[in-house]
A and B are shown apart, each in its own frame.
Chain A
């Protein structure tokens, strides 16, 4: 059977709407029906919320449904599940995993988080030390495991976990064999965040709020049936997750004066008395930079749509991070006296980052994280240099050393 066309998808959207009027059907029921109709993520397999359609046709479905006033699944709030957990589960999960996890993940009934980074393993993720040990006595079908598989007992600490306090499940990478080099000996699991031994503590940041958490894992039992990929192959599975993370960060459409440029341009127009020649040239440099990056994003999307994906996406995140930092710094200066005022230091737990709802001081402080989260700019430059430009890597002193013998 050939892949569905845009017209096929429009017909399916009409059929969905005919049977489920968004005005009368409850939001969750509508989302479930949409998933079952294969219109959730059209590039996923049939039966798992998709129709094996080209990924580029998703926008056709989204536009038709938005026009009909259909509810969406709050993609900004369940972004980790959608962008990172789902593609990994699809690729490495069993049919049972697919059936159990994908639908409630997509509808947002079950929120996911990502237990990757550790206090000693951020950019060097393969250094992680959260330990998972096989317990020979566990693992019966009665406790959720597969017979003969045995439970795993997990102990360690994760950090920078956004949404952990809201999450029902996590994707988790652990160390299962400390005697082999660090990229080997890792194993990947689905972790039940309500299991005994999982403790989530808010991690307050420089902005005053706590988007992120520390997650302490104390002898958490995970059935072997919750493993994704083979024992010791966790790095390979994690690569799938991380590649999808970068795709998710790279491709946001940016209209002219969108993003953090908007409030800066507005402040300039509203306060002629604060203008100086130096600020003017800085503002225009950033205007040019923002416009250029907006165009580069558009060009990247056109390449993807035309089926000529280039490596350009790997640098967009880096560029936007630097732009945001420069813009938010300029904005504080443009507010003169008011730039000394901060809107609110109260500790909050935002569901997603909302730059627009906060003041210039918040934007300045939060933007500092843009060059750290999702891969630091330094690590991304290495990736561009090595994978795009083909430059040789620096000598690696840790490549052939057992993880347990690495300096920590």
Chain B
């Protein structure tokens, strides 16, 4: 059996709380629910102005990137905290695809990735990792994209998160020299945005047909770099799910206090109170699991694979439960397009299958902690 990290820091530091306040202020002003709902059916489902402020002006795009590579020298902890706030607001910005998945892959790829990494870290350029968003940590290296003799890429990748606004793709591909990570300009790819279940995080099919590419990681480093991106992605996604849970619980508690039926606030009925108390307990659990995952990822602790599997296995079902309960306890209101609950339910259900389902993370955990099937 493995051991937990010694004295991990499961709290939020003062610096992190300051960052949270800035991000939350921005999102409160600029990602107001009715505007989000209207945007989902507009020609610009992503809010790239908001993204520019968040990524470049507040510097959130470069939190994980060292200063000498153009970032802010923070860690996965701060990135996870931003994800928590973004989960709370379901803001339509390409944070997961660019700042988390593409950036983590490039960070682990090595020096050849520095130039692209710097552009992503500054917020000047949006990236996406060309794997299906359902890909779980521990998955085999994908072979959907192949490298031709001329070094150009060909192949098709489905359900790529944030691809429709990406300017550069980080692509795992297999060539004569084995697996590698490549960067490709989006102009060299055919991107078809799909009708996504999640209205605020879009997915696309991406097709490469002899696309010019630059190799940033070779057979020695590419598999580990992709694995690191998927692990960081799943760990940070747990924090996003904490944010979703927090919003759903807070909104629902406020609603049941003011909604009167049968002559009293519905929140005074024990049948509802117990369900909300259960959600509160789940939020407490999810937060602890997500913070541990972020802390071990930030410190490169050997327990991070276990920590991420635990956080992913616990936080996905909790966020989904919170969104489903929020809908049920808002009753008819919860079924309407004009109330933002559906945005959270769609995000929670998509997150439930993103970067590995809870069941898949449990199965992986069984191998990590010597509890084999």
Binding site for B on A (CB under 8 A): 255-257, 265, 268-269, 272, 275, 277, 280-281, 283-285, 287-289, 291-296, 298-299, 302-303, 306, 308, 312, 315-316, 318-319, 378, 380-382, 384-386, 388-395
Distance, CA A403 to CA B310, complexed state (A): 50
Contacts of B112 in A (CB 8 A): none
Q: Which of A272, A293, A386, A395 contacts B273 (CB 8 A)?
A: A386
A394-B268 in contact (CB<8A): yes
Q: Which residue of B lies closest to A266 (CB)?
A: B1
B277-A298 in contact (CB<8A): no
A292-B281 in contact (CB<8A): no
A255-B281 in contact (CB<8A): no
A318-B281 in contact (CB<8A): yes
B277-A381 in contact (CB<8A): yes
- Minimal beta-carbon separation of A284 from chain B (angstroms): 4
Contacts of B249 in A (CB 8 A): 389
Distance, CA A295 to CA B295, complexed state (A): 12
Q: Which residue of A lies closest to B292 (CB)?
A: A295
Binding site for A on B (CB under 8 A): 1-4, 8-11, 249, 253, 256-257, 264-265, 267-270, 272-274, 276-278, 280-281, 284-289, 291-292, 310, 313-314, 359, 362-363, 365-366, 369-373
Contacts of B314 in A (CB 8 A): 288-289, 292
Q: Which of A288, A319, A390 contacts B281 (CB 8 A)?
A: A319
Known: A306-B11, A390-B253, A395-B264. A284 touches B362 (CB 8 A): yes
Distance, CA A296 to CA B3, complexed state (A): 16
A299-B287 in contact (CB<8A): yes
Distance, CA A303 to CA B310, complexed state (A): 22
B284-A394 in contact (CB<8A): no
Q: Which residue of A lies closest to B8 (CB)?
A: A298
Distance, CA A284 to CA B365, complexed state (A): 8
Known: A284-B365, A296-B285, A392-B265. A256 touches B359 (CB 8 A): no
A292-B268 in contact (CB<8A): no
Q: Would you give 8 A-B contacts (Cβ < 8 Å), ordered by A?
A: A256-B4, A288-B313, A296-B288, A298-B288, A312-B284, A315-B277, A384-B277, A385-B277
**Given pairs A302-B11, A385-B273, A391-B268, 14 additional interface contacts (CB within 8 A):** A280-B366, A281-B362, A285-B362, A288-B314, A288-B365, A292-B314, A295-B4, A296-B289, A299-B291, A302-B9, A303-B11, A388-B280, A389-B249, A389-B280
Give the interface SS of chain B, mostly helix, strand, loop or mixed: helix
Contacts of A395 in B (CB 8 A): 264, 268
A265-B371 in contact (CB<8A): yes
- Minimal beta-carbon separation of B315 from chain A (angstroms): 9
Known: A265-B1, A280-B366, A389-B276. A275 touches B288 (CB 8 A): no
Q: Which residue of B lies closest to A280 (CB)?
A: B373
Q: Which residue of A lies closest to B4 (CB)?
A: A256
- Minimal beta-carbon separation of B271 from chain A (angstroms): 10
- Minimal beta-carbon separation of A257 from chain B (angstroms): 6
A295-B366 in contact (CB<8A): no
List 9 A-B pairs, minimum CB-CB distance, nearest first.
Answer: A385-B273, A296-B288, A381-B277, A299-B10, A295-B288, A284-B362, A384-B277, A392-B268, A391-B267
B264-A287 in contact (CB<8A): no
Contacts of B310 in A (CB 8 A): 288, 291-292
Q: Which of A269, A389, A394 contacts B277 (CB 8 A)?
A: A389
Q: Which of B2, B272, B287, B310 has the most CB of A within 10 A?
A: B310
Contacts of A275 in B (CB 8 A): 372-373
Distance, CA A373 to CA B319, complexed state (A): 30
Q: Which of B253, B264, B285, B362 contacts A292 (CB 8 A)?
A: B285
Q: Which residue of B lies closest to A262 (CB)?
A: B1
A385-B276 in contact (CB<8A): yes
Q: Which residue of B lies closest to A384 (CB)?
A: B277
Distance, CA A377 to CA B370, complexed state (A): 33
Contacts of B272 in A (CB 8 A): 391
- Minimal beta-carbon separation of A63 from chain B (angstroms): 14
Contacts of B278 in A (CB 8 A): 381
Contacts of A303 in B (CB 8 A): 11
Contacts of B277 in A (CB 8 A): 315, 380-382, 384-385, 388-389
Q: Which of B269, B277, B278 has the most CB of A within 10 A?
A: B277
- Minimal beta-carbon separation of B21 from chain A (angstroms): 16
- Minimal beta-carbon separation of A307 from chain B (angstroms): 11
Distance, CA A394 to CA B369, complexed state (A): 46
Distance, CA A380 to CA B277, complexed state (A): 9
B270-A394 in contact (CB<8A): yes
